[in-house]
Every structure is written in structure tokens, then in C-alpha cells.
Amino acid sequence: MENNRNYTYDSVIQLDSNPSTTRKFMANVFLWMFGALAVSAGLAALFAFNVDMRAYIVNQETHSLTGLGLLAAFSPLAFVLLISFGFNRISYPVLAVLFIAYAAVTGISLSGLLLAFTPGSVLGVFITASVIFGVMAVAGYVTHQDLTKFGSLLIMALIGVIVATVVNMFLRSEGLDYIISYLGVAIFVGLTAYDVQKLKRIGEGLEYGDANAPKLALMGALSLYLDFVNLFIYLLRIFGRRR
């Protein structure tokens, strides 16, 4: 799930620091984020607990992924890259459709987690992730400390975690897997505060009615969506109880 995070809204300059403009922008960001999470959670539950739907992604005889299952497993990264690199060329309605489609395929791919871990532990980890995310989001919004350098270090650390994850696919080291999971939690806890502060500054730099505001809000929602989902997955790998 550690997808491309290099979005194209770094060059926004401050034009208007009207608090109402900032609040409206941030509300739009979180509305999109929560909507995407709802889509993902709904489809994850549907494909995990409905036997007929599950058959579309997992062959019940061989327990291997079907074509749709493989598509759901490997297409999220393609969606993120398409949305990120197509930001300046794709219209807002198309970006919105791509974002919802991304949330849908991500939800389908996450359905396996609901089957691998007990429902109680999944719910407990989800609540924990929500509380941690909320606390760090508030911290990032209200802090006056500049988190720019801190965020750059976290992104470099994330790249290291991705490389270590790929290496561990061959090593299959349980100890390294736990280290990666703990580092992943720390990284996405920090990135949540960093991204919220970054989005707040973007909101402060928007003029009321700016044509790019809806697209920037959608990209911000994608960033926070990735923070939350990855935080949830790493916490589940540490504290989740397998069936």
C-alpha cells in the first residue's frame, strides 16, 4: 500500500489566509477521504463475508486469486500513479471517478485481511488507528512547528521501508517483518501530521473560488487516505490476531 506520494500541489503560494477558506478546503479534503474509506470498508466486508462475492476474487477449489482478484491486488498502485501524474491534465470529474475506483479496488484487495484476522482484532485495530490518526491530524493542524524537514525525512524512511519489504519477500524473516511494521506505524503517524499541516497551508494559499481547489482537495484526500490505510495495515500486522 505504500504508494507514490509525490503530488503536484507543492507550488501553491499564499494568496489568502482567510480562516473560513482554509476550513472549507480542509472539510472538503476530509469529506473525500471519509467517503473513500467508506467505499473501501463496505467492499472489503462485502467480498470477505459474502461467499458468492468472494468467489469472484478467490477460486474456492484452489484458493488462488482469480483474474479480478489479481486486478484488485495489483491495480491500486496504477490508479495512484495515474491520478498523481494526470493531476494537471485530467478534469476534476474524471479524477473523482478514478479516486472512487481506486478506493473500490483497494477495498476489494483488503478483504483478505478480514479473512486472515479475527473480526474483533480488526475492529480493535481500526478504532486504534482512527484515534491515532485523529490525534495526529489535530496536532498537524494546530502546531506552529514547521514539519517540512521532518516530512522529508519520513518520506526517505518510507522509501527504506519499501525496499526492506521487497527484500523480506525473499528472506521471509519474521523478525524483520516486525521491525518493518513498527517502523511503518511510526512513519505514517508522522506523515499524518505532516500531510495535514501541508494541506492546511495549501488551504491558506487558495483564493475563494479557485478553480484548482476541488482537485487539490481530492489529492489531499488521497494523501490522507494512504496515511490511514497504511497505518491501519501496519498496526494490524503487529496487534491483529490471526484466525
Query: What contacts 175, CB < 8 A, 6 or more positions away?
Result: none
Chain segment 46-98, per-residue pLDDT in tens: 999 999 999 999 887 887 888 888 988 889 989 999 998 888 899 999 999 99
Q: What are φ and ψ of residue 145, in 5° steps? A: -75, 130
On whether residue 163 sits in a domain, the answer given is yes
CA distance 83 to 94: 9
Chain segment 15-39, per-residue pLDDT in tens: 445 678 889 999 999 999 999 999 9
**CB atoms < 10 A from the CB of 71, how many?**
16
**Residue 157 has which C-alpha cell?**
524512511
How many folded domains does the chain comprise? 1
pTM for the full predicted model: 0.89
On whether residue 209 sits in a domain, the answer given is yes
On whether residue 122 sits in a domain, the answer given is yes
- Residue 5: per-residue pLDDT: 54
On whether residue 102 sits in a domain, the answer given is yes
CA distance 162 to 86: 24
Nearest to 5 by CA among 197, 188, 236, 215: 188
CA distance 16 to 162: 38
On whether residue 156 sits in a domain, the answer given is yes
On whether residue 123 sits in a domain, the answer given is yes
Domain that holds residue 48: 19-239
On whether residue 8 sits in a domain, the answer given is no
3-state secondary structure of 86: coil
On whether residue 130 sits in a domain, the answer given is yes
